[in-house]
Amino acid sequence: MPESLTKSEPIDVAMSADSNTELSQLSIVPPPPSTLRLDLDHTAIFLDVDGTLLDIAPTPLEVRVPQHLSLALERLSARMGGAIAFITGRPVAEIDRIFHPLRMPAAGGHGAEIRLTPKDNIHRSRIATLDDELREDLTRIGELDSGIIVEDKGFSLAIHYRQAPQFGREVMEHIVHICRSERCESLEVLPGKLVVEIKPSGYDKGTGLRELMSNPPFAGRRPIFIGDDVTDNAAFAVLPDFNGIGISVGGPVPGASYNFDHPQDVRLWLERLSRQDDRERR
Ligand SMILES: [Mg+2]
């Protein structure tokens, strides 16, 4: 553990979520301290993409990668011997398109795809993907309203209702109805922030992180994982096995010691981290 990393204890406060709910215990989790200095030779960084590194866009294809982010990732990757990777629900090929020309190691499709270095081939899980009939039925939920976006990620399907939040309950009811039959037995339904994701069980961001950590250049390093939504919980959950550090975005989650309020704060932190050693040489 880097010597200068001092962890603040979460502060428990009681507050009313709204007038119809009982008082609930919420934790305020601080951002990583500005004095945090990481030993980049012995640290691995794993980053969720949407809502963590990149601002959520009206539709998944509209996300934007700020140029300074690409430069910071490139600099960090060079400094860390390549031990920085994306852990995302999107397919790796799509992540490559979004970040082009930057390529990074990645666990894509919620761990269904692994690429250890930018030059490697993508290794795909043999676990079955969603069957076509089920995919069609779920896709039809998008016909409820033009604000409902169905994102086919290949290994999984995400139904976004960010632009039609009033349909949230109806979207969930349709999913439950469609998934009543046996064909959903080996699937997981994960409600996130204005999105519901349907994915095969058997792999998740936790298995993805674990697989990356079993191989060079990640093996033996201390992982930091940053994520913002329900599908990231699986990655936070495996961190104790590697003495890792979890950082949430947008609010505290189990397994995260620190929290950033916005993706912009994550980008700024990475930018500073990528210049950490330059500052010390001065
Ligand atoms: Mg996310």
32 located within any domain: no
Q: What is the Å distance from ligand 1's center to 278 Cα?
A: 30
Alpha carbon distances (Å) from 75 to 5, 12, 32, 80: 22, 37, 20, 9
> Which residues form the domain of 177?
132-200
Among the candidates 181, 200, 219, a domain finishes at 200
Q: What is the Å distance from ligand 1's center to 36 Cα?
A: 24
131 — pLDDT class (breaks 50, 70, 90): confident
CATH number, domain of 175, equals 3.30.70.1020
pLDDT digits (tens, 9 = 90+) for 205-246: 999 999 999 999 999 999 999 999 999 999 999 999 999 999
Question: What CA–CA distance (Å, rounded) separates 211 from 223?
Answer: 12
Return the closest-CA partner of residue 217 out of 98, 97, 91, 46. Answer: 46
Q: Which residue in 12, 41, 48, 265 is the catalytic one? A: 48
Q: Are residues 55 and 118 in the same domain?
A: yes
Q: Are residues 273 and 210 in the same domain?
A: yes
In this structure, the chain runs to a length of 282
7 — pLDDT class (breaks 50, 70, 90): very low
Among the candidates 178, 200, 222, a domain finishes at 200
Q: Are residues 136 and 149 in the same domain?
A: yes
- Does residue 152 carry a catalytic annotation? no
77 located within any domain: yes
Q: Are residues 141 and 262 in the same domain?
A: no
71 located within any domain: yes
18 alpha carbon, distance to own chain's centre: 28
Among the candidates 200, 225, 258, a domain finishes at 200
Q: Are residues 101 and 215 in the same domain?
A: yes
105 located within any domain: yes
Question: What CA–CA distance (Å, rounded) separates 162 from 209?
Answer: 28
Q: Which protein residues have a CB closer than 5 Å to ligand 1 (ion)?
A: 48, 50-51, 228-229
CATH number, domain of 63, equals 3.40.50.1000
Q: Are residues 110 and 180 in the same domain?
A: no
Q: Are residues 225 and 174 in the same domain?
A: no
pTM, full prediction? 0.85
Q: Are residues 80 and 218 in the same domain?
A: yes
pLDDT digits (tens, 9 = 90+) for 164-219: 999 999 999 999 999 887 778 888 898 988 999 999 888 999 999 999 999 999 99
